[in-house]
Structure 1
Amino acid sequence: NKGEIWGDSQAPEISRWRGLVMSSEGDVAEVDWVIRRLRGELQFDWLPPTVECLNLYGNYLSGSVDLHHIPRRVHTLNLMKNRFVGTLDFTGLPEHMVLLNVSINEFSGPLDFTCLPPSLEELIASKNKFSGIADFSKLPGSLKKLHVAHTDLSGEILDRQGLEISAYCSNVEIKYSSK
Structure 2
Amino acid sequence: MFRIALTLDESLGRLDNSVLSEQSLMELLVQNMHEKNHFCDAGGDFHPIEQWNGVHFNVHGSVESIDWQNKFPRGGSMDFQWIPLNALTVNVSTNKLTGSVELSLLPEGIISFFAYNNSLSGSLDLTSLPKSLRDLHLDNNNLSGALDLTGLPPCFESLNLSNNRFHDEVDLRALPASMKAMYISSNRLSGTVRIDRIGDDINRIDLSGNAIQSLQSTDGRPFQHERISI
TM-score using structure 1 length: 0.91
Q: Which entry has the higher C-alpha Rg, 1 or 2?
A: 2
Equivalent residue, structure 2, for 1:176: 224
Q: CA deviation at 1:8?
A: 6.2
Aligned match of 1:22 in 35, 39, 57?
A: 57
Q: Does 2:190 match 1:142?
A: no
Equivalent residue, structure 2, for 1:66: 102
Q: Give CA-to-partner distance per residue, 1:59-98, whole Å, 9 cap, x none.
A: 1111011111111111100010011000000122110111
Q: Does 2:209 match 1:162?
A: no
- Alpha-carbon distance in 1 for matches of 2:128, 2:91: 18
Equivalent residue, structure 2, for 1:55: 91
Q: Does 2:114 match 1:78?
A: yes
User: Aligned pairs, how many?
Assistant: 177
For structure 1, the 5+ residue unaligned runs are none
Name the SS of the counterpart of 2:116 in structure 1.
coil
TM-score using structure 2 length: 0.72
- Alpha-carbon distance in 1 for matches of 2:70, 2:153: 28
Name the SS of the counterpart of 1:57 in structure 2.
coil
Amino acid at match of 2:179: L
Tell which has more relative contact order, 1 or 2 (C-alpha 8 A, sep 6+). Answer: 1
For structure 2, the 5+ residue unaligned runs are 1-34, 216-222
Aligned match of 1:2 in 36, 50, 53?
A: 36
8 Å CA contact 1:103–1:125 kept in 2: the answer is yes
Which structure features the higher share of strand residues? 1
Q: CA deviation at 1:11?
A: 1.9
- Alpha-carbon distance in 2 for matches of 1:110, 1:21: 35
Q: CA deviation at 1:171?
A: 2.8
- Alpha-carbon distance in 1 for matches of 2:55, 2:72: 16
Q: Give CA-to-partner distance per residue, 1:22-80, whole Å, 9 cap, x none.
A: 01111101011000125222112221111111101111111011111111111100010
